[in-house]
A = this chain, B = another copy of it.
């Protein structure tokens, strides 16, 4: 079915052989147009199935009632949950979401952000791509008078609204739990350290070891093990050490933890008795694996709602002097499952 071209005020103007500005005035019920013309314009508009464009009209008021969202991948569970949360809260306020994905590439992220600036969205919500290093494109958002909200993967030095997880505390609790379960050599699979979230998770790991007077062993800390494949590779390396670890904290993601579990299973190493495993994010599959995987719930849908509500709150308080919190930190929850429970309670 071919779509018809939409009727504009220019079509009405042409049909009536009058100026477009007169049509516009007639449609907005202005006094600067005579009654006969007004009637004629309204009749013609109805005949041509003309619809007033609420978007254009919002734009004239300097508001698009649109929030732009940039995430690494739309179809990663964590991000799709955050987006669903943002949509739910925004919909209630009559706002629309424009969604872009950076595919973990800063180059695409910059293009996405510039497109959203040119679209005159009211607010841009972003979680940085993994190779994000320079933040000039985010500064551009602010310089263009567009509200910027960062979530989860944030550029700390940019003073914007932020919704984050307390990654350090969550990691600290996860590693403390493993120590309390009697694990003595706990390995860390770490994520790319240019992202603050992964630096924080490493700090939580180190702090837990220090608290329990356990040595920090460099050979047990593996860089850049944040996908299932990289997690599996790291595990093969670790389990072939002269003194292999008795637990692995996949601080990067549950996918990485799944890689650990699969390698352990292939090597005939029993989880949790010979090897403890903890992931991060509470992906749906962590409940289903055998054994189920201990992980950290980030409350991703709630995080999305918080992002949207933070924006609306900021807009309502725009002209007030009242101070609104600029950073909301959501405390994630350690979900203890079978993969780390070797002590009977």
Contact = CB atoms under 8 A, between A and B. Distances in A.
A144 B159 CA distance: 43
Interface stretch (A97-105, A195-203, A266-274): A97-105
Contacts of A146: 3, 6
A301 interface: yes
A167 interface: no
B51 A55 contact: no
Contacts of A100: 87, 91, 96-97
Contacts of A8: 60, 62
Please report whether the interface of chain A is mostly helix, strand, loop or mixed according to DSSP.
mixed
Contact of A74 (B80, B108, B143): B80
Contacts of A142: 1, 3
Contact of A118 (B53, B80, B285): B53
A148 interface: yes
Interface string A60-103: 10101010000001110100110110011001001011111100
Contacts of A326: 1
Contacts of A143: 49
A344 interface: no
A161 B119 CA distance: 27
Interface in A314-345: 314, 318, 326
Interface in A144-174: 144-148, 159-161
A117 interface: yes
B55 A6 contact: no
A180 to B, nearest CB: 28
A36 interface: no
Contacts of A211: none
Nearest to A63: B6
Contacts of A99: 83, 87, 97-99
A115 interface: yes
Contacts of A32: none
Contacts of A145: 3-7, 49
A96 B80 contact: no
A56 interface: yes
Contacts of A241: none
A77 B79 CA distance: 11
A204 B94 CA distance: 42
A75 B83 contact: yes
A123 B101 CA distance: 20
Interface of A: 1-8, 21, 49, 51, 53-56, 59-60, 62, 64, 66, 73-75, 77, 80-81, 83-84, 87-88, 91, 94, 96-101, 108, 112, 115, 117-120, 123, 142-148, 159-161, 258, 284-285, 288-290, 301, 314, 318, 326
6 contacts: A3-B142, A5-B145, A55-B59, A74-B84, A98-B99, A289-B289
